[in-house]
Each structure stands twice: as structure tokens, then as C-alpha cells.
Amino acid sequence: MKRLSLSLIICILILSWIFSETTHTQQSATGKKYRSGIGGIQHESNTFNPYKVTLQDFKNIYFISGEEIIRRFRNETNHTGGALQSLLSHPDVEIVPLVCANATPGGVVTDAAYKQIVSDFISALRNAGTLS
């Protein structure tokens, strides 16, 4: 019997959601009180599937960064869209888009694809500046 293993489901929504006057009172460069990063990496891997998921597979669905995240997900009803809509409803939050990547479910993600996506995500975090 084949065993289904979800060896990789990474869904990272970085929502720095600190709405406390006592823990964060410094304003961002835009004059907003909070800076919240938003991004995510999502893929469902099945170890019994022989297909190796490449970076191109992510690009075929989406592998985006920066303002493209806001344009793509502003009206979406998925997890990223919902988080973005929630952030947009708070005028004191500056949204800092990071990286969003998703591929169709398949086999395991290749090392090269994984390293590139994680590297881009970490770079975006480093370049984002201070988040709330």
C-alpha cells in the first residue's frame, strides 16, 4: 500500500500583527504605525509521485514578489488574499510585500527550486527593514 506523505507543505503568511500601544509605538517612514510583511510559499508534495517539482513549476502558477503580490491577491478569496484584505482594512498598517510562490501538487520539490525560493524569501525579509 502506498503511503501518502505530505513531505512539504509550506504555507507561510507573515503577519506581524502587533496592535498594542505598549509594545510598538514607532512609526514607519510612511507615517503608518505598523509595518507588516506578507508572503508565502505553498506546495503539496507526495513522495509516491515520481515527478520532481522545479522552479518553473512554481513560475507556472506564481512566483512573485513586491507590489505584484498586492495586485494579484487584492481581490482573491484564498488565504493570502484574505490576509491582504485584512491588512488593507487597517489604515495604520504599512504592507510590505515579500515573496509568494505556489506550484501544482506533485512530487518532491527539487533542491535547486527549494533553495532559490527560500533564498529569495529570506532576501526579501532582509531588505524589508524592520517589521512590527
What is the band of 32 on the pLDDT scale with cuts at 50, 70, 90? confident
**What does the alpha-carbon distance between residue 106 and residue 30 come to, in Å, rounded to a whole number?**
41
Q: pLDDT per residue over 92-130, tens digit each?
A: 999 999 999 999 999 999 999 999 999 999 999 999 988
- Kindly calculate the radius of gyration of the chain based on its CA atoms and give it in whole angstroms: 17
**Are 45 and 8 spatial neighbours (Cβ–Cβ below 8 Å)?**
yes
Q: Do the beta carbons of residue 42 and residue 98 sit within 8 Å?
A: no
**Is the pTM for the entire model greater than 0.85?**
no
What are the tens digits of pLDDT across the range 57-91? 999 999 999 999 999 999 999 889 999 999 999 99
CA pair distance 112, 102, nearest whole angstrom: 15
70: phi then psi, degrees, rounded to nearest 5: -65, -45
